[in-house]
Amino acid sequence: MTSAQSVPVLMYHHVTRQGGSLAVSVDAFESQMRGLAESGWNTLSADEFAGFLEGEPVPLRSVLLTFDDGYLDNWVYAHPVLQRHGLKASLFAITGLIGEGAVRPVYGPGVEVPECPPHAQAKAQMFGAQPDDVMLRWDEIHAMHAAGTFEVHSHTHTHVRWDREYARAHEKAQHIHEDLAQSRTVLETRLGRASAHLCWPQGYFDADYIRAAQDLGFRYLYTTDARGQNRSGGDRAHIYRLAVRNRHWPWLRQRLWLAGHPFWGPVYNRWKARSDARKQSSAQEVSS
């Protein structure tokens, strides 16, 4: 078997009827997943991806699909599409926001499904009085896991940026550790196994976050940084992820080719990094 030299990791949040900010429409997601399946792409489990980083071979067309936070629409809309195409994804759940209750309907012909709002509204509700209206329930997570569409890993217990809450280093470090430990305990209790995979809340991390995560057994740390390639033997503490746009398969096909190309991928990433730096510098000049 010819093994992949790099594996793209795709980052999703929502799949909704209309798509939008941080959301892919049902039609676009269907197009993307059908394209992956028909083109022979292999969706890896998190542990298969971890094995690749440790030097184990994976098929040439391999990709890791990830979803952040744990929104209800992942069950209602993403799950049936993944199941239909025989694909799988990894969900990074905010364990403190996952609820209890009966499994709700999934999207299909003639099925009345719960409302899944746009990101801004979902974000307001998830930290409000009724997070259950927009977040997954444990029975839905178990159903997805049993179907082979989603496995679940940590996105912390609270999604709080503790570096913004505490100026004193020891207080910050203590709350980071407690948050991650609680998330890990919940996942062990609910799913029966510990996970070594962690996605940073709001994409932020520093040395204190990394130290706490590694002390608790999290070895594979996922960022929101798209400017690099995940290569065999690469850095498991800085996993690059590509944010997926609300576009159909041709866009994703082109993006996957670029993400994995040994020459043009790094060239594109350097160009984008310089472009982003120029934009940030211009914005700072305007605001000053």
pLDDT tens figures, 261-283 = 999 999 999 998 898 888 887 87
What pLDDT sits at residue 276?
A: 87
pLDDT tens figures, 4-35: 999 999 999 999 999 999 999 999 999 999 99
For residue 212, what are its two tokens?
A: 């706490």
Is the Cβ–Cβ distance between 131 and 97 less than 8 Å? yes
Taking the mean position of all CA atoms in its chain, how far away is CA 263?
Answer: 26
pLDDT digits (tens, 9 = 90+) for 28-45: 999 999 999 999 999 999
At 148, is the secondary structure helix, strand, or coil?
Answer: coil
CB 58 within 8 A of CB 44: yes
Does residue 24 sit in helix, strand or coil?
strand
Is residue 167 pLDDT above 80, yes or no?
yes
Which residues fall within 8 angstroms of residue 128, CB to CB, at 6 or more apart? none
pLDDT value, residue 109: 94
For 56-88, how does the pLDDT look when each residue is reduced to its tens digit (9 = 90+)?
999 999 999 999 999 999 999 999 999 999 999
- For residue 254, the tally of other CB atoms under 10 A from its CB is 11
Specify the 3-state DSSP secondary structure of 119. Answer: helix
Output the pLDDT for position 110.
Answer: 95
Could you tell me what percent of the chain has a pLDDT over 90? 93
- Please tell me the distance from the alpha carbon of residue 143 to that of residue 141, in angstroms, as a whole number: 5
Residue range 224-259, pLDDT digits in tens: 999 999 999 999 999 999 999 999 999 999 999 999
Instruction: Label residue 86 left, alpha or beta by phi (over 0 means left) and psi (-120 to 50 means alpha).
Output: left
For the domain 9-287, what is the CATH code?
A: 3.20.20.370
Q: Which of 11, 65, 15, 12 is nearest to 36 (CA)?
A: 65
Cα dihedral 106→245→276→236 (10° resolution): 60
Contact 79, 30 (CB under 8 A): no
Instruction: Give the list of residues 6+ apart from residue 148 with CB closer than 8 angstroms, or none.
Output: 83, 88
- The CA distance from 185 to 13, in Å, is 24
Q: Cα separation of 67 and 25, whole Å?
A: 14
Q: What is the pTM of this model?
A: 0.96
Asked if residue 240 lies in contact with residue 18, where contact means CB atoms within 8 angstroms, the answer is no
* 105 DSSP 8-state letter: P
